[in-house]
Structure 1
Amino acid sequence: MSIEWVNRAIDGLRVWGNEKGVEVDVDEVRLLCDYASDYLEVHELGDFRPGTFEELLLEIYPRKVIAPPETAPETVAAARTLIEFLVETGEIATKAAARMRATLDRIGPEMPAALADTSKFGMAKSIFSAIGADSLELGDPLPVQGATTEAVRDTATLDEDCDCPGCAPLPPVRLAPAAEIAAAVREVPLLRDAHTVAAWLADQNRTTTVRKALRVKDARLITQELGVARPALAWRLALELGLADLAGTAVVKEPGFRPLHARAQEDVLDLWVGTVEFLGEEGREVTGETLVDDAIYSLHDLLYRLQEPVPFDQVGDYLREVGDGGLVEDLPAALAALSYAGTVRLTPGGLTLTEHGQWGLREMYDELGLDAPVSADLAAGDAESLITGLLNDWSPDDVTERDVDRWLSARSPADAAAELLAAVAGAPAQVRGVAVTIVDRLGHAAEPSVRDRLSDPELRPHAIHWLSSRGLDAPPLTEDEMLWFTVDMLALALPAAEADPERFAENMGASGPPPEVIEDLWRVEHPDLVAVLELLGQTLPDDMAAKAARKAAFKARSRGIR
């Protein structure tokens, strides 16, 4: 964000450039100054040092700025112009300027590689790169607050090939039932307080200022007598939602006013959509100067797209990257305000949307004419639909857990097991693993259906394990079946292992197969055998076990298994 000293510096740079006949890339220099101020404790022009430029160009830019490597010379040139300005205006000494030029000579050739190094990308840069953004400096990452529905719809339809984040397709989301959303909305503190304040002001025959603001005395009384912590904000929302109106400056309740808990479901949901829109449009009212307007909109959109918690230490970085509106002064206070408003939840894993926050955003997107798809209800389909949905769904674990529970509750254990296992006969290991994992939740009543699968070569080892683990009569696993079962179970872990190899290695170190078992796996007829052995060879912490896996992979490939 641009602060006062940066604005003064840029104004001075423009004047200097005109006087000297020097072409100045003002935007690039401003970005250098902004990032130096935000991350490197540069509070005035004289604070620049040779090391400042090294950190900016090789650490901050690669982490923050989405720019192709070939743009590096432009940034280096802007840095050189800034150095000339600093020395000619007396901000730095001649010797310091010489050291800065030498630093740029040394690091300039390294900057393209740094910009291309994905391991250096910060969270927001990685997210936007993944959805095809060319630059975070292209403009607002989301539809501008106050834009008409027609304008947004035009953007969505005319810019179908656009790569900017605001035009990227919204992911399908899972929505809780409307009754659950309405129940949660009735517990939102800000919305309840808006009803409380509207009713109190009208019942007490209170008036507002000529600018429709709450009087200071009334605000104090509302806090003292009603326990409303933020009466001015609650009043602004009440007025926005039409819970109260003004006759001159006198407050009157809406016709047929009802408390939030007494309102019909449809009415509650309509009020909630209005509340979500209010939060994006009135950021200064919600969080003071800490988080304003388009920053709130952008933060909500990020959480909607990710559908998983964002660590708190990365939220501030993201907000500083989304544009000049992303003002962040006191982030904890801003997030607490949004939590009070009901859209976000503070969890041990970071910041995430509430279910009603997600629902409200999706309704708002839909009203703006954006394509905001909803995932199918997994519990309403057959076993194949359930398994496919679980493999492809982005929903949080607690949501998918509820889907599985609801799907199982509609069937007897025997019918559920029969349907699940039949759906994955001959399927790949990962598909089979989903069904086996769900069947593993079932009790003894599922025995007949599981036992029926003893004749299926691929499901037989899983069926034997299910039966024996419950103390039921089961044939013993042969050595070949045991080896096949080992490979199949490891194949289930391939996606998770590729995503987090360190955690996989830790788990394998604690409970993985011993070297003597790994050595024999090369004989197994399994389509994922080589992939499993290569993964073990790369990740097992025990050198002997890793060597055994690499040797077994070589033997498997020699047999023609790929």
Structure 2
Amino acid sequence: MAGRRRTTPDHSAQSGPQAAPAGSLLPADYDLAELYGAGGRDEDDEDLDDTAVLVPPIELPSEQELTAAALAVPLLAHALKLARWSAPHRVVDEFGDLVEADRGPAARLVGLAPEEGDVPEEAVVEALRAWSLACDLDLVELGTTRAGEHVAVPMEEAADAEGGDPAVVLDLWLTAAGIVRELAVEADSLDLDGESAEGAGEEDDDGERGLAEVEEAGEAAAEILDEALQVLYELTAFAEPGEETVPLGVLAALLVVPDGEEPDEAMLGEITDLMVMLDPMLADLAELGVVEHRPIDPDLFEEEDAEDTGDAAAPAAVPDTGTEEDTGRFGLVRLTPLGQYGVREWLLADGYDAPLIGDLARGDAAALLRGLAESANVIPDREITVWLALREPADAARDLLDAARGRDAYGPVRRMHCELGLSLLGAAADPALIEVVDDPELGGLARETLRGHGADVAAPERPVALWRTVDGIAAVLLATRGDAAQLRPLVADLPVTDNPASYFGELWRVPHPFTVQVLETVGELHLDRQVAKEARKAAFKARSQQGQG
């Protein structure tokens, strides 16, 4: 699976559909930013190295729950039942398919046809698909008897899977999902390029050009599907419970529209084409439970054709105040927990770091804060919440405070995450905070937090308060890699008086390892020229002092 070239998810795309603007019936005619609140990929994403891909952490159900979900997928359940049904062996044709006499009974066995009466043709087709999957998953072994009969013999995996062995079931499901994913891409490439490939074959006796075009189309479709699945993975990771369903237009827009831009007419057309391309592939994946999918309403195309021909009987355009049902006609998709498991396994197989929420919670406070400080793809509040749930509040607070100490490169970020943990604990952390009110590194944090809880504690002394100011800005500077948008509010809120030279005359003397960097940041970002100038002068003095030291 090709990793998506995005370093941050677009949170705005998580919101549900809003009022639909007026327009014709296909998404290309909509202002998707207004309709969905969707952003898109970064314009410079193509230039990012694969190592820049950050996969957000997710929370998966238990192995037992995932196993139950996999066994509930009809196609896999049917394949398992048919494999067991073939015991001790079952005659098949030369291609390994069920013989004619067994096709009706197979459809009845898996509940696709009634016990009595004729077996519908579509039931037979579905039974043969399930049997084909059983063969592809090696749930049955094909061979030939001494008498020359072709037979299928069930393998032990079929019994183990029906018995609910998680390792076996999830491995079978993942293999099946991979097969369906490949078949969905192949079907799309053949459907899109069949005519051009056929024409190319007429010009080239060997048909090489036609084959190359089909292969190229297949690679393109596979890349689009992989990227769409990773977009869904990202959106699901950040979505609130119950808000994981994404309009197909949002999914397409996130793949087409550069971040921060409004889609132009060409982009809107590309969005519609992409939706039409993804729709059948997502339908195939829905059969294995990778996604829940509501397809595009086919009547939309008939309605648009009627409008294009000027048919007076054509339905009216979508009204100014659209409904969720109107939006749903353009398709909806949701990555299931089982789908999250599958996409994560594909990402891991391709060498990407795809963490689970709670991975850091297994260690002590030092490991937790170190992991939060050093890892780019974590969700701190969720990780800390899991960690706290496993511990007694007062002890957890003491451990966090103890692990937050240190003047190394990650110290400010550890203290920032420690403060987050203490805020989640609330007043339960007060006993531990009282113990460190005079600590040179933690005293400012402790006194501020206790006073916020209403405790009768003196405010931090001036040197402690200044050290705390530098430490707080340094934490954001490090955690955001110098993101100006997140630093500007902190810089603007500095308690600089009418005499900035006096304030920075104190600040540059603060014995903090990041004093110089913080002052340089203030000098670069503060909107008041005089303040910025004094901050730069103070940074020069602090750097000179460090050099002398």
Unaligned runs of 5+ in 1: 1-118, 132-169, 319-326
Q: Deviation at 1:553?
A: 2.9
- Taking a change above 3 Å as real, the CA distance of residues 495 and 444 of structure 1, as seen in their structure-2 partners, is same
- Taking a change above 3 Å as real, the CA distance of residues 478 and 371 of structure 1, as seen in their structure-2 partners, is closer
- Taking a change above 3 Å as real, the CA distance of residues 316 and 357 of structure 1, as seen in their structure-2 partners, is farther
Partner of 1:382: 364
Would you say the 8 A contact 1:283–1:293 is kept in 2?
Answer: no
The residue correspondences of 1:84-233 to structure 2 (distance < 5 A) are: 122-128=44-50, 180-188=62-70, 191-196=73-78, 199=81, 231=126
Letter in 1 for 2:367: S
Q: Deviation at 1:452?
A: 1.2
1:435 aligned onto 2:415: no
- Taking a change above 3 Å as real, the CA distance of residues 374 and 275 of structure 1, as seen in their structure-2 partners, is same
Would you say the 8 A contact 1:487–1:521 is kept in 2?
Answer: no
Q: Deviation at 1:494?
A: 0.8
Letter in 2 for 1:126: L
Would you say the 8 A contact 1:447–1:467 is kept in 2?
Answer: yes
Letter in 2 for 1:390: L
Structure-2 separation of matches of 1:463 and 1:349: 47
- Cα shift readout 1:350-409 (whole Å, capped 9, x = no counterpart): 9999541255336756xxxx8989899422322211111112234442xx5554334323
Would you say the 8 A contact 2:188–2:281 is kept in 1?
Answer: yes
Structure-2 separation of matches of 1:297 and 1:185: 28
Q: Deviation at 1:124?
A: 3.5
Quote the sequence identity (%).
23
1:393 aligned onto 2:375: yes
TM-score, L = length of structure 2: 0.53
- Taking a change above 3 Å as real, the CA distance of residues 467 and 552 of structure 1, as seen in their structure-2 partners, is same
Structure-2 separation of matches of 1:335 and 1:449: 52
Structure-2 separation of matches of 1:516 and 1:212: 84
Partner of 1:107: none
Partner of 1:477: 460
Q: 2:450 aligns with which of 467, 471, 483?
A: 467
Q: Deviation at 1:552?
A: 2.3
1:271 aligned onto 2:252: no
SS, match of residue 457 in structure 1? coil
1:357 aligned onto 2:342: yes
- Cα shift readout 1:273-315 (whole Å, capped 9, x = no counterpart): 4235424653446767578468547965998899855974454
Partner of 2:440: 457
1:334 aligned onto 2:317: no
- Taking a change above 3 Å as real, the CA distance of residues 212 and 452 of structure 1, as seen in their structure-2 partners, is same
Partner of 2:497: 516
Would you say the 8 A contact 1:194–1:235 is kept in 2?
Answer: no
Deviates more, 1:489-498 or 1:187-196: 187-196
Unaligned runs of 5+ in 2: 1-40, 115-119, 144-148, 193-216, 237-250, 259-272, 294-331
Q: 1:282 aligns with which of 139, 164, 183?
A: 183
Q: Deviation at 1:517?
A: 8.2
The residue correspondences of 1:411-422 to structure 2 (distance < 5 A) are: 411-422=391-402
The number of residues matched between the two structures is: 383
- Taking a change above 3 Å as real, the CA distance of residues 500 and 342 of structure 1, as seen in their structure-2 partners, is farther
Would you say the 8 A contact 1:281–1:293 is kept in 2?
Answer: no
- Taking a change above 3 Å as real, the CA distance of residues 415 and 496 of structure 1, as seen in their structure-2 partners, is closer
SS, match of residue 437 in structure 2? helix
- Cα shift readout 1:134-175 (whole Å, capped 9, x = no counterpart): xxxxxxxxxxxxxxxxxxxxxxxxxxxxxxxxxxxx999979
Partner of 1:405: 385
- Cα shift readout 1:76-120 (whole Å, capped 9, x = no counterpart): xxxxxxxxxxxxxxxxxxxxxxxxxxxxxxxxxxxxxxxxxxx99
Would you say the 8 A contact 1:309–1:350 is kept in 2?
Answer: no
- Taking a change above 3 Å as real, the CA distance of residues 337 and 277 of structure 1, as seen in their structure-2 partners, is closer
Q: Which has the higher helix share?
A: 1
SS, match of residue 446 in structure 2? helix
- Cα shift readout 1:388-443 (whole Å, capped 9, x = no counterpart): 1112234442xx55543343233322211212211222333122222222222213
Structure-1 separation of matches of 2:430 and 2:344: 41
Partner of 2:515: 529
Q: Deviation at 1:497?
A: 4.7
Q: Deviation at 1:551?
A: 2.0
Partner of 1:49: none
Tell me the C-alpha RMSD between the 2 structures.
Answer: 5.5
Partner of 1:239: 135
- Taking a change above 3 Å as real, the CA distance of residues 339 and 445 of structure 1, as seen in their structure-2 partners, is same
